[in-house]
Chain A
Amino acid sequence: MRQSSITDIISPIMAGPSSSHTAGAVRLGLLAGNVYNAKPEKVIFKLYNSYALTGKGHGTDKGLLAGVLGFAVDDERIKNVFDTPEAKKIKYEFNFLEDFNRHPNAVDFHFEGDLNMTVSGNSIGAGEIIIDKINNFSVNLDGKYNSLILVYHDEPGVISKVTGMIQLDKVNIASMNCDRSGKGKEASMCICLDGEVSKSCLEALNSLEHLYIVRYIKKLEI
């Protein structure tokens, strides 16, 4: 387990009232927004279990939307986010659901626009979060690392080529998660990094054969 630091204990500075239901919601929104990486026309938020049940009283719905709009966890506009000019520029709706196979604080973001994408995650306590699914692929993003998400055609050697390119940047890989829909079909890689990869590395990755989505997701500041 990662040892906590004093700075974790005396922070975050946040809009109340709950680290898991408010600050965690904002962070989930921010990270999901980074994953989508475009201006959505519409976002459908699906809140599950405790998030659905007590979410309104904790401003979870406001936090999720504020995060997608790029507000920081301590932004006092979160309270009135529905009235902000930023919120008025997009369409959104909230669904409150029960599914006990999901985490108590689970959420799905359905982004609609030039590209449609579903991002799922959980608020796991004390403001910590995990994004565990993008479309149908399992990932493991906690917002603490710069990360690469790659979707590619399942072929021998792709992983080795990708890690080789990262190595050229002298960046250490902190963790790596691979998944695929079936042998020789669509596959995904989620790579958490200790440093930052260069633009040229991203360009090289983009030009690799068999890779069709390359996304670089910066870690969250708070």
Chain B
Amino acid sequence: MEKITTFRQLYYACKENKKSIYETALDNEALNGENSEYTVRLQAKKSLDAMKEAIKSGLVSTEPSFSGISGDECYKLQTSKAESILGKTAQKIMIYALATSEQNLRMGRIVACPTAGSCGIVPSVLIAYAEDYGIKEDGQINALITAGETGRIISNKMPLSGAVGGCQAECGAASAMAAAALTQMRGGDVKQIINSAALALKNVLGLTCDPVCGLVEIPCIKRNPFMALHALTASELAMAGIISKIPADEVVDAMEQTGKLMSPLLKESSQGGLAKTKTAMALEKNILK
């Protein structure tokens, strides 16, 4: 078996060996004796536990972020008086995503998945769904490995960093990973899982990284619940048998090209977009003193 670098190879390896994505991914990691199944499962378990801890701490904290401009949004959402138009699980996902993101801004312990700025997306979708639909720990670990494999294949084409690819490469990749994890837990087949990732990714192309004051705060915190729900749409479509007309690998190619075409002013340099708005400039004067 050759090392898998594309979704296409992943699909055919799964089909040929009649295995799921996480099983194929574990075989692939173990090639050349690099990472045994035990090593990968152990890291997944550690990361999963840390994700749960971050949510738990984030849910009960209103401590302001470092800059002092955020930290109470998870609390506000939890105590909202408005009748929700989302179902119970989707609501929980938003709350968990905010809880994790706000923990990150407080210098709390989180899991970069794939990055710190996008740390709320995969855990919120994975853990809220698992809780509400009775997915046991083993199933959660398999879903996290499915997410990790999705991110790994994307990262083969482009580094998952806002400075290189904009936010499409951070929160966008995280959303594709969350979609894959969710579709796995919902019993989707290999094709549906890959399609859910492709659909999620396709709809974040061109997403810029223009953080206000250069901090992982505005728009990053609230982008986490947005991109978590984005993963739900992708999974819902894929589970209905709707496919991405552009195959997953080509979507990744488009993402790489889009990242290159994007101005450096919109890639984590805080020299354009939201970072250069009037309000952002005023905040900058107050915060970065």
**A interface residues (Cβ-Cβ under 8 A, vs B):** 3-20, 22-23, 50, 53-54, 56-59, 62, 74, 76, 78-79, 125-127
* Interface bits B108-126 vs A (CB < 8 Å: 1, else 0): 1111111111010010000
A5 to B114 CA separation, bound complex (whole angstroms):
12
- Residues of chain B whose beta carbon lies under 8 Å from any beta carbon of chain A: 3, 5, 25, 29, 34-35, 39-40, 43-44, 46-47, 50, 65-67, 103-117, 119, 122, 144-145, 147-149, 151-152, 155-156, 159-161, 163-164, 177, 213-217, 270, 287-288
What distance in Å separates the Cβ of B73 from its nearest Cβ neighbour in chain A? 15
Q: Given A9-B155, A54-B215, A127-B112 in contact, is the A59-B107 Cβ separation under 8 Å?
A: yes
Determine the residue in chain B with the shortest Cβ distance to A81. Answer: B107
**Chain B residues in 8 Å Cβ range of A78:** 107
Pairwise interchain contact B43-A7, C-beta atoms closer than 8 A: yes
> Across the interface, do A57 and B287 meet the contact criterion of CB distance under 8 Å?
yes
Partner of A17 from B5, B25, B66, B287 at Cβ < 8 Å: B66
Residue of chain A at shortest CB distance from B28: A6
Residues of the A chain whose Cβ atoms lie less than 8 Å from the Cβ of B46: 11, 13
Docked-complex contact B104 and A16, CB < 8 angstroms: yes
- The CA of A145 and the CA of B263, in the complex, are separated in Å by 35
**CB distance B214 to A57 under 8 Å?**
yes
Q: Nearest Cβ in chain B — how far from A9, in angstroms? A: 4
Tell me the complex Cα distance, A126–B118, Å: 12
Whether A10 pairs with B44 at a CB distance below 8 angstroms is yes
User: Are A18 and B117 interface neighbours, CB within 8 A?
Assistant: yes
A10 touching B116, Cβ below 8 Å: no
Q: Are B163 and A125 in contact (CB under 8 A)?
A: yes
Q: Is the CB of A57 within 8 A of B66?
A: yes
B115 to A, closest residue via Cβ = A19
Contact A16 B119, beta carbon cutoff 8 Å = yes
Q: When chains A and B are docked, how far (Å) is the Cα of A127 from the Cα of B177?
A: 20
Given the contacts A7-B40, A17-B105, A126 and B112 also touching, CB distance less than 8 Å: yes
- Given the complex, which residues of A lie within 8 Å of B160, measured CB to CB? 9, 126
Q: List 29 A-B contacts (CB under 8 A).
A: A3-B3, A5-B29, A5-B40, A6-B29, A6-B40, A6-B148, A7-B35, A10-B113, A10-B151, A11-B47, A11-B113, A13-B50, A14-B112, A16-B105, A17-B65, A17-B104, A17-B107, A18-B116, A18-B216, A19-B115, A54-B213, A57-B67, A57-B213, A57-B217, A58-B215, A59-B66, A76-B107, A125-B164, A127-B112
